[in-house]
Structure 1
Amino acid sequence: MFRTLLFLCLVNYTPALTTTAFAAKWTAFNHVVMSNTASVEISNVYSGKRCLFLCLQNEACVSFFYRRQHRRCQFHDVLFMSPEDGEHENGTVYYSLTTGVCPFGYVHNRLLNICYQLHLDDIYYNDGLADCASRGEHLLVIDSADKQNHIVKQITSSSASTVKSYFIDGSDAANEGQWVFHDGRPMTYFAWKPGFPTNTTDDRDYIAANKGGKAYLWQDRKGSESKFYICEKDL
């Protein structure tokens, strides 16, 4: 997905939250709008820079469309990945937000304080784990219903990301039935699909958010299966 850095602004906007904000323009979405999925839309806005300022004030805002011909900002709590899912609208441009602590191309959910990236590469568990680790990251930790609901919304917001299931953090490889995160913390929240986990001894030691029914409930799966994966950067 092509993107270009737009601008740097809002230095010392609010020290408790951030000192710098960036917007990255996603050129593949030029003249495209997701007209029926906005969480908030604001009228009488005369620049993309003003949209960025307003997005930063709204902690739920992850990305935004600046609809030039309508002078409107359309805020979203997900990062879209499939321009073909939208509708044509002349002059509309799309940006993602980062406050400098989360890299471009990642989803920065400030309400949940998470920074992560969906990887639409069909690979084995250990290969996905190694790719995350190569950037100092780990597979995505989901430890609350709010995070689970957000991840499901993010995945299902784009047709390209709904093709496969996803490996996320969590394993019982050390002790069957005792699920822990990558850092050894015991897991206390689960979103298992009915009938799971199987807790068998056939190497189903890893968690996959399963695409069945687009609910992305969890299954215990083998590391030798290939799936998409999600990396998280600690903030």
Structure 2
Amino acid sequence: MLLILFSGKAEKFMVNIPELDVSPVQGSIGKSTTALGLIECTFMCDSEEFCDAIYYNQSSSRCTTVHNQTDNYSIQTELSGIYYKTKEVKTCLYEGYEYAWELDVCLKFYITTTERLSWSYSRTRCQNEAGDLVVVDSEFKDKLFLLYLNHIHDMTSVQRWWIGGSDVLNEGQFEWISGQNITYTNWDPGQPDNASNDGTTNADCIQYFFRTIEQSFAWLDLRCDSNISSICESRAFI
């Protein structure tokens, strides 16, 4: 559930984070009182300088504001209700990018046939927009991109996407474009195998590939000169 808040000129929204409904969070209680509804509860948070989250109990109409920026002890949430976190909506500088609040970055998915380029040209295009190919260095980011890509696949049937990993510099040692070794992985079984679909070797770059049987995406290595779709991430905001 998303709720739009306006605080001065900054547009914000609040999003429910279900896993925190029943788990302690870090912070201190700002105010705990009854509210006429969820909207009024969000306005209460918006009026407090350090409030960045609320708990709202619909059955009791109890609204509890949380100041996560001030203290660092745990609040026992089982008495408080459903957790909503404040997120600021940022505007991306470059055309076609959308703000992903979960990562605090702007993302662009190059989908169409004419937009499909090699790994290096795809990366250059991202860099020209103050970004780079996406680095998927955690399970959280991987699961998030799986949601994105599955949704796009349902609409467009696009099956291959470049991301920012390769073993170009050291065969067999995959690393991210940031230079860090790849520790978290989502390789398809048997990957990487240094082979492309046409039987050629030197498959040095990482792609997300849609697996028809599993109906989901996983990582495969592919020749870097293959022209496929790509995902850019940028922190260029207006």
For Structure 1 versus Structure 2, the TM-score category normalised by the shorter chain is: 0.5 to 0.7
Give distance in 1, aligned partners of 2:225 and 2:176. Answer: 19
- Pairing 1:117–2:108 present: yes
Which amino acid counterpart does residue 157 of structure 1 have in structure 2?
Answer: H
Could you tell me which residue of structure 2 aligns to residue 71 of structure 1? none
Deviates more, 1:172-181 or 1:119-128: 119-128
**SS of 2:164's equivalent?**
strand
Name the structure 2 match of 1:207.
206
What letter matches 1:193 in structure 2? D
Displacement after TM superposition at 1:155 (Å): 1.6
Alignment of 1:134-213 (within 5 A): 134-158=128-152, 159-199=154-194, 202-213=201-212
CA distance in 2, matches of 1:147, 1:194: 20
Residues paired across the two proteins, number: 158
Change (3 A) 1:234 1:187: farther
What is residue 70 of structure 1 aligned with on the other side?
none
Decide whether aligned partners of structure 1 residues 156 and 203 sit closer, same or farther in structure 2, where only a CA change above 3 A counts: same
TM-score (norm 2): 0.56
Name 1:100's counterpart in structure 2: 90
Distance in 1 (alpha carbons) for counterparts of 2:91 and 2:175:
27
Q: Aligned match of 1:131 in 125, 128, 131? A: 125
Instruction: Note if contact 1:116-1:233 (Cα within 8 Å) is conserved in structure 2.
Output: yes
Aligned CA distance change for structure 1 residues 146 and 162 (closer, same or farther; 3 Å): farther
How far apart, CA to CA, are the structure 1 residues paired with 2:126 and 2:103? Answer: 20
Contact persistence 2:194–2:222 (CA under 8 A): no
Partner of 1:4: none
Deviation at 1:146, TM superposition (A): 1.1
- State how far apart, in whole Å, the 2-side matches of 1:135 and 1:207 are: 21
Q: Which runs of 4+ in 1 moved over 4 A?
A: none
Q: CA deviation at 1:122?
A: 2.2
Q: 2-side partners of 1:100 and 1:165: how far apart?
A: 28
Q: Distance in 2 between matches of 1:221 and 1:133?
A: 21
Deviations 1:120-145 (A, max 9, x none): 12222222111101111100010111
- Counterpart position of 1:223: 224
AA paired with 2:206?
I
Contact 1:155 1:161 in 2 (8 A): no
* Partner-residue secondary structure (3-state), 2:180: coil
Runs of at least 5 residues in structure 2 that lack an aligned partner in the other structure: 19-36, 47-51, 54-86
Shift of 1:99: 2.3
TM-score (norm 1): 0.56
1:4-28 per-residue CA deviation (whole Å, 9 max, x = no partner) reads xxxx9433xxxxxxx72289xxxxx
Question: CA RMSD for the aligned pairs?
Answer: 3.4
In structure 2, what is the Cα distance between the partners aligned to 1:142 and 1:161? 22
Which letter does structure 2 place at the counterpart of 1:202?
Answer: T
Is the CA contact 2:188–2:218 (under 8 Å) kept in the aligned structure 1? Answer: yes
Distance in 2 of aligned mates of 1:182 and 1:228: 18
Structure possessing the higher radius of gyration over alpha carbons: 2
